[in-house]
Structure 1
């Protein structure tokens, strides 16, 4: 009888341990979910704590700045004539820039032109004598 009771007792313990083993994966999942929730809550707490500290620093800075006093040493005056733009100066610079650009364009066009206009141009450029030239014929439209 004693052995039967001890056997029944051991069988009960085995069943208890087996049920614990079967519940083990579910408990691991519960533990993992709790850890995720804990980490999320901890991160939210740290974020809120950081924001709270920043708000306190901003409040302290604002309190310190309220104590500062400013006074006007010399009041601002309206100038007698406008500082900018200086219209005559701007017009003169624009005129000179336009003339310079025009002259530069004429000079460049003249330098780029490789045409011959008379016999001396041919003689100077090619180094040979011109035997004859054909005069320009102008049509008169009546």
Structure 2
């Protein structure tokens, strides 16, 4: 967790912005709580409240939030879908999640997995295939 705090917390909060001014949880704390669920071999967000809160609260600097807070933050970070209508009149929804993709790239740069000034091809492929039903 200390590595997360020293490397990624500031990147997360500067990319996503501050969630609250004085009370509540910042996005970095919420993402850290979400990561704790998976690091403790759980797979359900509600487990942070029902199973992990007592254990995680023993960490001296870890502020663990409830599952409700995690789910609210995920909803806050969602973006509207983009709709594409094919020549056959079918509508397909997709989402580019620009903010979260920017966060992902910023975290990868901050962790040293990608280097500033280098050229990288970040590719997104999709294909809409119409067929008779």
Give the TM-score normalised by structure 2.
Answer: 0.18
Larger C-alpha radius of gyration, 1 or 2?
1
Give the TM-score normalised by structure 1.
Answer: 0.17
More helix by share: 1
Higher RCO structure, 1 or 2 (CA under 8 Å, sep 6+)? 2
